[in-house]
Amino acid sequence: MREKTILLVEDNPDDAHLTLEAFKAAGVRARFAVSTDGCAALKYLRDAEELPAFILLDLNLPMLSGHEILERIRADPGTKAVPVIILTSSIEAADLVRCYALGANSFVRKPVDFEQFLDTARLLGRYWLEVNVASPAGRA
Amino acid sequence: MAPRFLVMVILALPAAAAAPPTAAAEVKAVFLYNFTKFVDWPPESFPAPRSPIVIGVLGSDPFGAVLDQAVAGETVNGRPLEIRRFANLADLEPCHILFISASQEKHVPVILRRLDRTGTLTVADMAGFAARGGAIEFRIEDGRMRFEISREAVDRAGLRVSSRLLNLASTVRPRSP
Amino acid sequence: MRRRFAGLKLGTKLLLVITGTSVLALSLACAGFIVYEIAAFRARAGRDMDLRAAMLAAGGAPALAFSDEKDAMKTLALLRADPHAASAQFYAGDGSLFASFVREGAREVPPPRPASDGHVFSWERQTTASGVYLAGRRIGTVVLTRDLGEMRRSLAAVLSISFVLLLGSSLAALAIAARLQRVISEPILDLTRAAEAIAERGDYSSRVAARGGDELGVLVAAFNEMLAQIQRREAALRDSRQRLALLVESAPLGVIVWDLDFRVLEWNPAAERIFGYPPGEARGKEGTFILSGRVWTAQARAVWEDLLARRGGARFTNENVAKDGRSIICEWYNTPLVGAGNKVIAVASMVDDVTERKRAQDELRSLTDQLERRVAERTAELLALNKELETFCYSVSHDLRAPLRAINGFSSLLLANYSGRLEPEGKAYLARTAAAARRMSEIIDDLLDLSRVTRTAMKPVPVDLGALARDVAAQLQAREPERRVEVVIDECAPVLGDPNLLRLLLENLLSNAWKFTSRTAAPRVEVRARREAGRAVYSVRDNGAGFDPAYADKLFKPFTRLHTEAEFAGTGVGLATAARIIERHGGRIWAEGAVGRGAAFHFILPEP
């Protein structure tokens, strides 16, 4: 069985690195594609042979903000079914509400503590790669 | 005899009809009517309480319709007045007042004898009628119609005459003593 | 006529009334008597004539029946014996004259035949017509005329007797009235004289001599009583007027009375003080002399017209001019004086010079305006600062946490992946680096909480604090499942507040209690509710480390710590956040405690 792809949209290289490490240390077996801005991410989604299993989306991004990217993903019939998990430093209620309104599947606050981040990564991987997989029939 | 009698009758009638009543006849008719108001007849001379007072005319009638007009519709003491005409003595029926026409002058004694004590007030306009035994005699005095009353005749007829009538009479022949 | 009578003296009037009444009564009696006499005579004469006519009719009936004029004349001639009979006629049934008798020397021969039966009276004669009947049938008419000379003579006699009687009794009435009228008119004349004397001299002390007990006596007594009352009233009026004059003289306000042409009638010393004109100078002047520019202003005219029309104008402030030309601000209280017939007869004004007061007010107002302007500016500034702070907080939550996350993350990765290459001391340093980063992120979170408490809009709803406390306590227990803490939470009446903020409040207070009982043998945390002075007081109490009450007031300041970090970890922001939440709800929070004997935080919240 082929490894699934996870699209990470994150401009901060430290955060991107730590995220990859956290998922790796958590034992999540998946390929990671990383886009540092919205345009790249949307381009990837357009060109990729296979859609990612889910998208980890930062909110505070250059050029296109996370909200805008989410909006476009949901507006495109080809990508609108892809699960999007918001991964952000923000704890503002306004952000959370807005993201869910735009169709985010989950809203996760980036923990400062790496141990916690690890737990978070483990939970996300287990849920979106193993538990909540669309049935082959549904996929067709 | 009979045809002659007939002729007389025939002659008499046209004469009565032909002679127009004079003003004097009119006055006499009213007097005849007025006498009924001043004379009292004995009750037995009326067959019923409402029997009429009968005024008869004997002989040729000088009044014509005037007499009938004078009494028409009048009543005296509740009694109506009735006019009867008799051609001659033979036809005569009982009357309360009988006017004897001048035409009967020569029969007057017979007539009066016949009416003696019958309660009939005899009236005539023949001169000397009262003297001959008639009750009331019309006569003209000063161009006015007046009358003489014979109290003797009235008494013998059994009638009572009002003193007021006596007052008006030009002459009152007194009762026989 | 009536006017001329009204002008007569009382005695003459009485005389006229009494005499007039007597004469009138007698005249009426006489007239009545005469009328009765005439009527009685006529009735008598009528009966008499009827009788004669009947007799003639009876006598003449046969004559008429048999047209016997002589006999009729005989009947008529019987009248010769009657001296009153003037003439008599018989008419036949057809209306023609039948027989006529006329007395010798009669004035008229023979009178015309009346149209109908009955009596006709004239001044001269009486004519009677009657039917002549025979055996119930009318056969003619008898007309009888009678000379009324006798009646005229008797009437003349009655009239002359009446006149003599009238004259005599009138004179008698006059004589009696002349004597009697004095009894009535004298007391009235006395009253008149007294009233005239009072009217001339104004001496209300005089009295009228008392009379008997009749109405006039009562009138005199009432008059005297009236005089006494007037005397008392006048005295009271004099006193009242004096008081009023003193009041006007000594009033601190200017008192001015205007006539309807806006001319000064009254002007008191206070008015002189305000405007500088002595009363003698001000009286009679038109009011424009104290108006600014000494002319009618539109406002003054409107006020004056309103006053006269009684629409208002009662109170207003106006700029006036004093005698020396100073402009002064005056407050006017005006009232129309309404007299009899509900008409305005004058206008009264009370005036106060408020120039100084007005100046002070204006100054105060300008200061207030300035202050308000400054407050508005500051508020705008604060709003801008607040906005800035919000932006700052947002970036703090994002941007400050990213490097901390990197420090912690990479330190952790170093420890995990490269521990073999590090000395134990190096590992310890890395661990401390990671811990420091974690701590700093906690401080940042707490600070964000604090600022959010200040910034967020409140949505007060009824909240069950007890349920909220149990929820928070369960979370704390879940975070440290190995710890055994006895938790007691009372049932609480609902309070009015923002549920999110109140949760944060309880989180702070309970986690505080949780933390400070970590070294206590039998840790116990209580949430108590009680009523004190009519208000619900809530307490979060623990039996933990406690604090020195000397520092109780410092507890609620951010970053204030009474314990070392080594003893009890903490950011020093939690209690400040709690205090700020209570503050925002309009409540109150205070602390109670002693070192080693636990702490209690009491607070009051608004109730629904």
- Which tens digit of pLDDT belongs to each residue from C243-297? 988 988 888 899 999 999 899 999 999 999 999 999 999 999 998 899 888 888 8
Do residue B144 and residue C67 have CB atoms under 8 angstroms apart? Answer: yes
Which amino acid appears at position C111 of this protein?
Answer: P
pLDDT higher at B160 or C554: B160
pLDDT at position C254 is: 92
Task: Provide the CB-side half-sphere exposure for B168 (13 A, CA).
Answer: 27
Residue B4 pLDDT greater than 60, yes or no: no
ipTM over 0.95: no
Which amino acid appears at position C113 of this protein?
Answer: R
Lowest-confidence segment of B146-160, C118-132, C475-489, C512-526 by average pLDDT: C118-132
Residues 6+ apart with CB under 8 A from C121: C42, C148
Residue A7 pLDDT greater than 90, yes or no: yes
C438 close to A (CB below 8 A): yes
Q: Where are the alpha helices (DSSP H) in C67-148?
A: 69-77
Minimal CA separation from A56 to chain C, in Å: 16
Whether the full predicted model's pTM is greater than 0.80, yes or no, is no
Q: Output DSSP code: residue C310.
A: T
Share of chain C above pLDDT 90, in %: 21
Spatial CA neighbour of B71 closest among B110, B35, B103: B35
**Closest chain C residue to the Cα of A15, Cα to Cα:** C406
Q: Which two tokens stand for residue A6?
A: 């996870």
Looking at mean pLDDT, say which of B6-20, C233-247, C452-466, C566-580 comes out highest.
Answer: C233-247
Q: Output DSSP code: residue A130.
A: I
Chain A hits for C416, Cβ within 8 Å:
25
DSSP string, C406-446: HHHHHHHHHHHHSGGGS-HHHHHHHHHHHHHHHHHHHHHHH
pLDDT higher at C483 or B175: C483
Minimal CA separation from A20 to chain C, in Å: 11
Chain C hits for B165, Cβ within 8 Å:
62
Q: Which two tokens stand for residue C592?
A: 């109670």
**Closest chain C residue to the Cα of A87, Cα to Cα:** C398
Q: Output DSSP code: residue B55.
A: E
The position carrying tokens 């979106």 is A128
> How confident is the model over C193-220, as pLDDT tens digits?
888 888 888 777 777 777 677 887 888 8
What length does chain B have?
A: 177
Interface present between C and B (3 or more CB pairs within 8 Å): yes
pLDDT at position C566 is: 61
- CA-to-CA separations, A104 to A5, A32, A83, C339, C390, in angstroms, rounded: 18, 20, 7, 89, 25
Distance CA C524, CA C521 (A): 9
Torsion angle of the four alpha carbons C104, C105, C108, C114, in this order, in degrees rounded to the nearest 10:
-50
Lowest-confidence segment of A36-50, C154-168, C564-578 by average pLDDT: C564-578
**Closest chain C residue to the Cα of A88, Cα to Cα:** C398
Minimal CA separation from A49 to chain C, in Å: 33
Chain B hits for C58, Cβ within 8 Å:
none
Spatial CA neighbour of C541 closest among C551, C526, C529: C526
Show the CA angle centred on residue C571, arms to residues C570 and C576, nearest 5°.
115
Residue B8 pLDDT greater than 50, yes or no: no
pLDDT at position A1 is: 53
C251 close to B (CB below 8 A): no
A91 close to C (CB below 8 A): yes
> How confident is the model over B29-79, as pLDDT tens digits?
889 998 988 998 888 888 888 889 999 999 988 888 888 888 888 888 888
Q: SS3 for C329?
A: strand
- Considering only CA atoms, give the Rg of chain B: 16
Share of chain C above pLDDT 70, in %: 96
Chain C hits for A96, Cβ within 8 Å:
none
**Closest chain C residue to the Cα of B75, Cα to Cα:** C135
Interface present between A and B (3 or more CB pairs within 8 Å): no
Mutation target vs A (from C394, C404, C405; most A CBs, 10 A cutoff):
C405
Spatial CA neighbour of A30 closest among A49, A56, A68: A56
Distance CA C412, CA C398 (A): 21
Show the CA angle centred on residue C276, arms to residues C274 and C279, nearest 5°.
100
Tell which B residues from 15 to 74 touch C, by Cβ distance under 8 Å.
27, 31, 34, 37-38, 74
Q: SS3 for A26?
A: coil
Instruction: Please give the span between the terminal C-alpha atoms of chain B, in angstroms, as a whole number.
Output: 46
Lowest-confidence segment of B145-154, C223-232, C570-579 by average pLDDT: C570-579
**Closest chain A residue to the Cα of C390, Cα to Cα:** A92
Distance CA C316, CA C301 (A): 13
Q: Which two tokens stand for residue C314?
A: 């009662």
Helix, strand, coil shares of chain A, percent, nearest 5, are: 45, 20, 35
Do residue B27 and residue C67 have CB atoms under 8 angstroms apart? Answer: yes
Over chain C, what is the mean pLDDT? 85
> How confident is the model over C357-382, as pLDDT tens digits?
999 999 999 999 999 999 999 988 88
Distance CA A18, CA A87 (A): 13
pLDDT at position B177 is: 56
Distance CA C514, CA C337 (A): 84
Distance CA C322, CA C273 (A): 10
Q: Give A4's strand partners.
A: A30
pLDDT at position C527 is: 93
Distance CA A46, CA C267 (A): 102
Mutation target vs C (from A112, A116, A118, A120; most C CBs, 10 A cutoff):
A112
> How confident is the model over C34-48, as pLDDT tens digits?
888 888 888 888 888
Residue A105 pLDDT greater than 50, yes or no: yes
Helix, strand, coil shares of chain C, percent, nearest 5, are: 55, 20, 25
pLDDT at position B14 is: 38
Is residue C138 a contact partner of residue C94, using CB atoms and an 8 Å limit?
no
> How confident is the model over B79-134, as pLDDT tens digits?
889 999 998 888 888 899 999 998 888 888 888 888 888 889 999 988 888 888 89
Is residue B168 a contact partner of residue B138, using CB atoms and an 8 Å limit?
no
Interface present between A and C (3 or more CB pairs within 8 Å): yes
DSSP string, C554-595: GTTSTT--SS-TTTS---S-HHHHHHHHHHHTT-EEEEEE-T
Residue C559 pLDDT greater than 90, yes or no: no
pLDDT at position B15 is: 37
Distance CA C234, CA C598 (A): 91
Beta strand extents in C18-121 (DSSP E only): 85-92, 97-102, 118-121
Show the CA angle centred on residue B62, arms to residues B57 and B63, nearest 5°.
80
Tell which C residues from 447 to 466 touch A, by Cβ distance under 8 Å.
448
Q: Output DSSP code: residue C291.
A: B
pLDDT at position C98 is: 86
Is residue B76 a contact partner of residue B101, using CB atoms and an 8 Å limit?
no
Residue C450 pLDDT greater than 50, yes or no: yes
Residue C185 pLDDT greater than 70, yes or no: yes
Tell which C residues from 90 to 149 touch B, by Cβ distance under 8 Å.
134-135, 137
Is residue C334 a contact partner of residue C351, using CB atoms and an 8 Å limit?
no
Minimal CA separation from C58 to chain B, in Å: 10
The position carrying tokens 């006709």 is C120
Is residue C334 a contact partner of residue C344, using CB atoms and an 8 Å limit?
no
Would you call C92 exposed, middle or buried from its count of C-beta atoms within 10 A (0-12, 13-18, 19+)? Answer: middle
Question: Given A22, A90, A113, which is nearest C438 (Cβ)?
Answer: A113
Q: Output DSSP code: residue A119.
A: H
Burial pattern B62-100, b for ≥16 Cβ within 10 A else e, equals bbbebbeebbeebbbeebebebbbbbbeeebeebbbbbb
The position carrying tokens 């945390």 is C525
Share of chain A above pLDDT 70, in %: 93
Dihedral sign for Cα atoms in the order C90, C95, C98, C102: positive
Residues 6+ apart with CB under 8 A from B42: B119, B158, B159
Q: SS3 for A51?
A: coil
pLDDT at position C272 is: 93
pLDDT at position C468 is: 92
pLDDT at position A140 is: 33
Do residue C67 and residue B165 have CB atoms under 8 angstroms apart? Answer: no
Chain C hits for A92, Cβ within 8 Å:
394, 397
Distance CA C338, CA C354 (A): 28
Q: State the CB neighbour count (10 A cutoff) for residue C249.
A: 12
Do residue B38 and residue C137 have CB atoms under 8 angstroms apart? Answer: no
Residue B2 pLDDT greater than 80, yes or no: no
Would you call B166 exposed, middle or buried from its count of C-beta atoms within 10 A (0-12, 13-18, 19+)? Answer: middle
Show the CA angle centred on residue C485, arms to residues C484 and C489, nearest 5°.
145
Residue C413 pLDDT greater than 70, yes or no: yes
Chain C hits for A90, Cβ within 8 Å:
394, 397-398
Region C59-69: mean pLDDT is 85
pLDDT at position C257 is: 93
Distance CA C574, CA C508 (A): 5
Show the CA angle centred on residue A115, arms to residues A112 and A120, nearest 5°.
80
Q: Which two tokens stand for residue C578?
A: 């709690």
